[in-house]
Structure 1
């Protein structure tokens, strides 16, 4: 089987799979049940129903954001949400232009170096789509980590404000001014939404859905439960701050215990590429067949796929969710 035949076969199979996914809509029975449940919870006056609604939103935030409150979110909206979670003022057009420009530059460089057209196009598309995605993931993780680190301090500041007799809305304004970084930015947005007429619960819930962090969801649930059941809000938030700090300590402990396994995975995953690069620098003719010989190209792609599967499995083995 030639390389062209293999590419045509894979492309045909991928085309029919995409067509099937495009025309296969969601299960109507499950969608109807989900909407009826959402309407029932939304119009219920009981405290249990409101708590259940908040817990459903927490579960939706922990999963990939495909359904939130029964509303379907397409991939364009998911990409906009990811860009918003980075904290940068990047637009969707800027992201697409950067990805397309990077893909074109990589493809042009490889084609000028004498690489075959198929390898150049595939490498350009892979790097153009993958590298910006990795950068967005890195910025999202860094901002969420910074937010989770400083969020208990914001809760303790809220507790001190409540004990001194300040209302919750005024204390949120103090947090927005005193806490720097992502915490202050998010609470500033909450305060601005409250000033333009939104309720505090809706403003906080919108922020929780945009952040997607369980820590902020716990905070929103605590305020909702306290508003329905009553009680000392300052003591409840103080307990929440203590739980979040212990949760962060547990994460650090797990990270330290799994650091050896992660280092081994990084070494095993990067060693073949490192050896390939070193051999390429010493003797390019020895490895040049991987860029024009069909059998070597197929072997290289299969090897890279299997290595990606192994790296994915190792990453899941050392990834613990608290």
Structure 2
């Protein structure tokens, strides 16, 4: 291992890791291309609730094997959670493809760790392990950020969508016709989500089930209020248009107040990002430019104050400051 991590063997090691990374990226791209050309039976699986249409005999064997692996992984508890997160982010990826992206990101983290910790072989091993763990969470972070942005956009549009629904009901439309009109007239992502509701109802599901599936894809408190009102009206009756007007006004006020709070807390959010990222980024920059200057912090020996207490305590204090600021600026509406 020490021979492999020696300075004269570093280019060979990095070249080998680079080849492995390119091969893994090629496999992931191939999977994504095949997923983009999936047949109609695969697309209908979302609405039929599990029963898969019999596979065509002329499909490639590799594609059938990949589908079987993905179906097994997706049925697990972790796979179901990943599938739900991908649906909330509206990413056209299977669970197996997402796991492949995580493995590729982890391999990229190993390469980055080797480059960052080239001051000593021990530092290279530690940096490669940390880099693999940290980089493996990058796809998850991207999915969560995309889902949060999509949820925020949906909440901002929901007040106007409810007003559109109330006006359509007053004009004589049925509730399903109203949903179809929203799917055609509303902006994204509201149009896509309500279009899925209409498609699920058209494929045989009840309106209540389709709306509950919508709530699982878009976990919004405002949407939950709308679905609850619609469900109660379907059971006991009442003027749904008037109820929707009241709900729409409440949601618009909440969106306005949230916007004002976001403006007032913008400085705190930026401060938390700078305070967290600046020391870590500066330490990484100095390590890349002058590895020997930072080497004492990662030199194993006794007593372990240098390589253990200082970095660990610094990271702990940085994380503590970040979460403290986030807690201060987190104001519930």
Identify whether the pair has TM-score above 0.5, normalized to the shorter chain.
yes
| Whole-Å separation in 2 of the counterparts to 1:212 and 1:226 | 21
Structure 1, unpaired ranges of 5+ = 1-72
1:301 to 302, 312, 317: 312
| Whole-Å separation in 2 of the counterparts to 1:236 and 1:174 | 19
Q: Deviations over 1:128-185 (max 9, x none)?
A: 3221121111101111111111122221111111011110101111111111311111
Instruction: Tell me if structure 2 keeps the 8 A contact 1:86–1:140.
Output: yes
Q: Deviations over 1:10-34 (max 9, x none)?
A: xxxxxxxxxxxxxxxxxxxxxxxxx
1:84 to 55, 67, 87: 87
Counterpart for residue 331 of structure 2: 320
Instruction: Tell me if structure 1 keeps the 8 A contact 2:112–2:128.
Output: no
Instruction: Tell me if structure 1 keeps the 8 A contact 2:109–2:133.
Output: no
Report the more deviating stretch, 150-159 or 109-118: 109-118
* TM-score, L = length of structure 1: 0.72
Counterpart for residue 162 of structure 1: 169
Which structure 1 residue ranges, 4+ long, deviate > 4 Å from structure 2?
A: none
Aligned pair count reads 250
CA RMSD of aligned residues (A): 2.1
| Whole-Å separation in 2 of the counterparts to 1:99 and 1:238 | 45
| Whole-Å separation in 2 of the counterparts to 1:98 and 1:321 | 35
* TM-score, L = length of structure 2: 0.69
| 1:289 aligns to 2:299 (yes or no) | no
Q: Secondary structure at the match of 1:90?
A: coil
Deviation at 1:280, TM superposition (A): 4.0
Deviation at 1:80, TM superposition (A): 1.4
Counterpart for residue 204 of structure 2: 197
| 1:183 aligns to 2:190 (yes or no) | yes
| 1:174 aligns to 2:185 (yes or no) | no
Counterpart for residue 310 of structure 1: 321
Shift in CA distance, 74/257, structure 1 to aligned 2, threshold 3 Å: same
Shift in CA distance, 124/275, structure 1 to aligned 2, threshold 3 Å: closer
Q: Secondary structure at the match of 1:231?
A: coil
| Whole-Å separation in 1 of the counterparts to 2:174 and 2:246 | 19
Q: Deviations over 1:89-108 (max 9, x none)?
A: 11111111111111112213
